[in-house]
Amino acid sequence: ETRYTECDKSFPDNAINYCLEEAGIGINELTSVVYYDYETWTIERVLHNVEVIGDKGQQLWNLAKESLYTKLKLPTILRLRSNYQGPIFKSQHHVSHAAGAFYPSPFEDAAILVIDGVGEWACSTIAVGEKNSLRILAQQQYPHSLGLLYSAFTYFCGFRVNSGEYKLMGLAPYGKPIYADTIRQTLVDIQEDGSIFLNMTYFSFLEGEAMTNQAFADLFGGEARSREAEITRREMDLAASIQAITEEIVIKMARHAFALTGKKNLVMSGGVALNCVSNGKLFDETPFEDFYFQPASGDAGGAEGCVLNWYFETYPDRGRVRLDNSYLGPAFSKDETLGFLETKGLAYHAFEKGERAETIAQLLAEKNIIGLLDGRMEFGPRALGNRSIIADSTDVDMQSKLNLKIKFRESFRPFAPIYAEERTSDFFDFDRPSPYMLVVRKVKEKWLIQAPSAQEQTTDDMIAIVNQKRSELPAITHVDNSARLQSVNATQNPRFHDVLMAFEKRCGKAVLINTSFNVRGEPIVCNLNDAYKCFMRTNMDVLVLNDFYLIKSEQANWHELEDWQETFELD
């Protein structure tokens, strides 16, 4: 819904309407509606917190009651807003995640690992999936949550909870895990099976919005960093430390899942499954042979999963549909695109027949930064080539330029490569597809240039560290010589694959930068107008809209009355 409204708490009217229109049905042709939470269990958990924290309980209840009331009223709200008359079912949160990971996967059977902040009560779940069924085998209950532990460090380092965790992950390679022993000895007791027990003396998330307390601050030498404050060596080392702890716990959980199930395949979901650094370690550190990470591992994937769980409980003998790609959202036809350009009176070019990929490759070779809207929007938090900003990965200045002048975000944040799947092992220490940007691996040694790692640097100047050339693909090589991988093949996304092949022919490497088509804190663009607006607000050079392209220097001057950069909070 955020892609339509730019508001993350609105009722999903537009998303519902899109799905119905795409299916060609009315809402009362639905067999049923399913929701991915038992909200009464969530209320039970909040009331338990209110009781546990004593005098501060009323403050917590005041913060939570409106949201909880809305959850309880969801069936009524749906019926009032849509005139839906059919049945409404509910699914446990972690069952929804498990189903959303297993049923679209390529596996007939698999171990399932769900790790997030909290569902109703469960914070991590091990399950097993076999054909059209799944069973829960083990769970860890609130408040002993790896997701909340990671979010506590996200909060303390000055990033937004539930969106800034990937920033913390990107910051980790700049630091050293010097606090890891302190975390193990003081904050969390880690068992061999991956279960954990938090020392709640140091956390305040039971009480409300703050994740940590004064004891936590004292443990790490001072108050939490404020949002816009400079990032110091302390934050770098804290990020490295909690990332190391997270990897240790996830690996232990995965090994335990293997021991419980004996399956050779592992599927993962929940917010922690978006930690692609941790995911990348599983290939080397666990006995599993193959992996599937749900591309929408957050709660959006839970919405998919609750429906699939209901479906296979109701129709256990029906066949499964594998998710071959995540391009499931709105698309705009050639006529719609042309109509938009003409109505706006924009200066544009049409790609010559058969020359689209070659023209885009030429523009990229000329060091242009391109905003690209093509085909269906992606489902999930990652832009995977259809709502992307793309650029030449061999340009040493491109990372800072994109961060500071296009995305308007912190300079330390890395960019992902998008590359032809058949070239994977040419460039990276990996030999499998990675279509959803959910695995981090090292850049192959032959492309590396001798340079000190971030941990070996004597400076804390992050821009200087970022601008150090480390490989022949400097714009996608992070400071630890790693990259967040996204492969593309000719079946999943033939038009983007053609661009990669044309770029390889022209410049020698089928690897580009891929980052989401948005600016800091803003939802990824959905429609033609979103893309045009973002293009004009930033220093992008070229905008590709399906079979047409616009050159910035040919456009009329752009004027806005509002300060749009203040519209969205820091992510």
Angle between helices 13-23 and 74-82 (to 10 degrees): 60
Question: Residue 60 — very low, low, confident or very high, per pLDDT cuts 50/70/90?
Answer: confident
d(CA 488, CA 497): 6
Q: What is the pLDDT of residue 454?
A: 59
d(CA 141, CA 253): 14
Question: Is residue 276 over pLDDT 80?
Answer: yes
Q: At residue 318, what is the residue type?
A: R
Q: How much is the average pLDDT of 84-107?
A: 97
Give the lowest-confidence range in 208-212, 361-365, 498-502: 208-212
| Residues linked to residue 388 through DSSP beta bridges, in sequence order | 372, 516
Phi, psi of 169 (to 5 degrees): -60, -40
Question: Residue 412 — very low, low, confident or very high, per pLDDT cuts 50/70/90?
Answer: confident
Burial of 140 (0-12, 13-18, 19+ CB in 10 A): buried
d(CA 333, CA 254): 44
Q: Helices (DSSP H) in 127-271: which residue ranges?
A: 146-156, 165-171, 180-182, 214-219, 233-261
Q: 116: how many CB neighbours lie within 10 A of its CB? A: 27
Residues near 557 by Cβ (< 8 Å), separated by ≥ 6? none
- pLDDT per residue as tens digits for the range 31-57: 999 999 998 999 899 888 888 888 778
Q: What is the pLDDT of residue 521?
A: 78
- pLDDT per residue as tens digits for the range 448-475: 997 666 566 666 677 677 778 889 999 9
What Cα–Cα distance (Å) separates residue 52 from each residue in 45, 49, 118, 188, 207? 10, 5, 18, 20, 9
Question: Is residue 233 over pLDDT 80?
Answer: yes
Q: What is the pLDDT of residue 208?
A: 78
Q: What is the pLDDT of residue 459?
A: 63
Give the lowest-confidence range in 109-123, 162-176, 309-323, 392-406: 392-406
Delimit the domains of the chain by residue range: 92-323, 334-566
Q: 318: how many CB neighbours lie within 10 A of its CB? A: 10
Q: Retrieve residue 369's tokens.
A: 């930064």
Question: Is residue 168 over pLDDT 90?
Answer: yes
Q: What is the pLDDT of residue 508?
A: 96
Q: What pTM was estimated for this model as a whole?
A: 0.94
Q: At residue 236, what is the residue type?
A: M
Q: What is the DSSP letter of 326?
A: -
376 and 328 Cβ atoms separated by less than 8 Å:
yes
Q: Under CATH, which architecture does the 92-323 domain have? A: 2-Layer Sandwich (3.30)
Of 181 and 6, more confident = 181
**Helix, strand, coil tally for the chain in percent (to 5):** 45, 15, 40
Q: Euclidean distance between the first and final Cα of the chain, in Å? A: 17
334-566: CATH superfamily: Carbamoyltransferase, C-terminal domain (3.90.870.20)
Residue with tokens 């045009």: 532
Compute, in degrees rounded to 10, the torsion defined by CA atoms 233, 234, 237, 239: -110
533 and 340 Cβ atoms separated by less than 8 Å:
no
- pLDDT per residue as tens digits for the range 254-269: 999 999 999 999 999 9
Question: Is residue 343 over pLDDT 60?
Answer: yes
Three-state SS annotation for 340-396: HHHHHCCCCEECCCCCHHHHHHHHHHCCCCEEEECCCCECCCCCCCCEEEEEECCCC
Q: What is the pLDDT of residue 564?
A: 55
- pLDDT per residue as tens digits for the range 509-536: 999 999 999 987 789 999 999 999 999 9
Question: Is residue 421 over pLDDT 60?
Answer: yes
Q: What is the pLDDT of residue 67?
A: 83
Question: Is residue 568 over pLDDT 60?
Answer: no
Q: Shortest CA distance to 3 belongs to which of 384, 330, 307?
A: 330
Q: How far is CA 340 from the centre of its chain?
A: 30
Q: What is the pLDDT of residue 68?
A: 85
Q: How much is the average pLDDT of 63-77?
A: 87
d(CA 135, CA 129): 7
Average pLDDT, the chain: 93
Q: What is the pLDDT of residue 563?
A: 60
Q: Shortest CA distance to 436 belongs to which of 381, 478, 483, 477?
A: 381
